[in-house]
């Protein structure tokens, strides 16, 4: 089992914090170590943000504890009341992440005799500052992870890999009439990359700004997930189609396709080419972060597909026809979904490019 960098950094932070506390006789050392662990975040920016928030919440906890302890005492009711005040106030000012450490500070301080409040407050404050400082220092010195750059570099790889899988599933279905046997491809490689990029995105979000256009990124991840799932569905239908034809027709009959059904396949093939062009533009847009104009759905193409279906419907019937009709309809639906989603993403890129150009003028 591999030991990750964050695991090593956390252990080093605890050891360093306890060593500093022992050298300078800072008590309680355990509180300082806990603070270091809590602030050992997966990204530098998140660690910095949480550290400042922890400092602020801790100072608030000290003030609330001193007031409550000196004025009303230290029984459990007043400790609970102080905790409630801290939670409400921190949520009100937008410091929710540091509430737990603030509660710990309240308990530590109000659990002491009244005459030692000030000493304990200063001691706890110093220990938490040591823990925060050590966590920030180690996060910065020991190869701090830069998730954003790695995420951006792999995002286009994900688009290309998943879209290729989807396009190949379409193309395979269109030409499945020539197959006698068909082995469905395993999308495990695509799924593994999707999981990796999604995990990177969860960490990289802390480093992103509105200029990185998070809504676009989330929709891009969504379409990549759809490419895998819908491509797998098409491949499953292709396998069923090949098996059904092999078991029902002779080798000579397998080569026979009605003119009407061939027209439908030709239209799907044209749709495949259109989608491939759109995906190429999307891949370029993701890489260059630059729009290539506005896009609209080709309504005429889908009208021609509907007419071809009607012509086929008037000339054939039977169980095999119904199965083929359902399969073609599903493939066309998936193709249209991919078309619309890709166009939507391209228009988002174009809109963002126009906005940047307008702001730069």
* pLDDT tens for each residue of 180-203: 777 888 899 999 999 999 988 887
> In terms of domains, do 220 and 338 share one?
yes
> In terms of domains, do 76 and 217 share one?
no
> In terms of domains, do 230 and 332 share one?
yes
**What are the DSSP E strand ranges found in 53-212?**
none
> In terms of domains, do 201 and 95 share one?
no
> In terms of domains, do 90 and 9 share one?
yes
Residue 111's domain comprises 5-141
Decide if 223 contacts 341 (C-beta within 8 A): yes
57-114 per-position pLDDT tens digit: 878 887 888 788 777 767 788 888 888 998 998 888 888 877 887 887 788 777 776 6
pLDDT reading at 1 higher than 50: no
> In terms of domains, do 187 and 299 share one?
yes
CA angle (191 as vertex; 185, 192 as ends), nearest 5: 115
Can you give the pLDDT at residue 226?
94
> In terms of domains, do 195 and 335 share one?
yes
Can you give the pLDDT at residue 138?
82
> How distant, in Å, are the alpha carbons of 224, 274, 288, 342, 347 from that of 296?
21, 12, 21, 10, 9
> In terms of domains, do 204 and 318 share one?
yes
> In terms of domains, do 111 and 193 share one?
no
- If one counts the domains in the chain, the total is 2
Which residue did the predictor score with more confidence, 33 or 355?
A: 33
> In terms of domains, do 307 and 269 share one?
yes
Can you give the pLDDT at residue 290?
75
Measured CA to CA, the distance from residue 337 to residue 57 in angstroms comes to: 48
Instruction: Specify the pTM.
Output: 0.66
Measured CA to CA, the distance from residue 117 to residue 255 in angstroms comes to: 91
> In terms of domains, do 98 and 237 share one?
no
289-344 per-position pLDDT tens digit: 777 778 888 899 999 988 888 887 777 665 566 777 888 889 999 999 999 999 99
- Percent of the residues in the chain that have a pLDDT greater than 70, as a whole number: 86
> Which of 109, 124, 141 is the last residue before a domain boundary?
141
> In terms of domains, do 288 and 158 share one?
yes
Q: Which DSSP letter does residue 236 get?
A: H
> Which of 141, 166, 187 is the last residue before a domain boundary?
141
225-277 per-position pLDDT tens digit: 999 999 999 999 888 888 877 776 665 555 566 777 788 889 999 999 999 99
Element (H, E) at 101: helix 99-110
Q: Say which CATH number the domain at 332 has.
A: 1.20.58.220
């Amino acid at each position: 089992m591999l030991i990750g960098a964050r695991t090593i950094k956390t252990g080093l932070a605890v050891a360093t914090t306890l060593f500093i506390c022992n050298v300078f006789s800072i008590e309680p050392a355990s509180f300082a170590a806990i603070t270091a662990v809590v602030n050992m975040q997966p990204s530098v920016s998140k660690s910095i943000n949480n550290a400042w928030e922890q400092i602020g919440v801790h100072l608030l906890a000290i003030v609330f504890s001193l007031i409550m302890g000196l004025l009303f005492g230290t029984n459990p009711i007043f400790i609970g009341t102080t905790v409630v005040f801290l939670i409400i106030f921190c949520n009100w000012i937008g410091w929710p992440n540091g509430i737990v450490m603030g509660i710990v500070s309240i308990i530590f301080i109000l659990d002491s005799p009244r005459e030692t409040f000030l000493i304990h407050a200063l001691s706890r404050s110093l220990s938490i500052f040591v823990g925060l400082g050590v966590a920030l220092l180690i996060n910065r010195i020991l190869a701090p992870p830069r998730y954003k750059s790695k995420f951006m570099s792999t995002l286009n790889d994900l688009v290309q890999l998943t879209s290729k899988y989807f396009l190949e599933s379409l193309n395979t279905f269109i030409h499945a009439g020539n197959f006698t046997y068909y082995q469905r491809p395993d999308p495990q490689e695509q799924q593994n990359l999707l999981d990796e990029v999604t995990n990177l995105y969860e960490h990289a979000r802390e480093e992103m700004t509105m200029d990185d256009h998070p809504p676009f990124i989330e929709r891009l991840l969504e379409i990549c997930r759809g490419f895998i799932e819908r491509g797998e569905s098409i491949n499953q239908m292709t396998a069923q189609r090949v098996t059904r034809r092999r078991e029902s027709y002779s080798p000579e009959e397998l080569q026979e396709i009605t003119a009407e059904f061939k027209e439908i396949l030709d239209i799907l093939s044209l749709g495949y080419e259109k989608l491939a062009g759109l995906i190429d533009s999307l891949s370029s847009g993701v890489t260059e972060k630059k729009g290539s104009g506005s896009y609209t759905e080709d309504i005429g193409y889908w009208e021609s597909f509907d007419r071809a279906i009607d012509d086929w419907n008037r000339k054939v019937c039977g169980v095999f026809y119904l199965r083929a009709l359902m399969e073609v309809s599903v493939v066309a639906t998936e193709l249209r979904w991919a078309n619309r989603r890709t166009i939507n993403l391209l228009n988002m890129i174009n809109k963002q490019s126009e906005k940047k150009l307008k702001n730069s003028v």
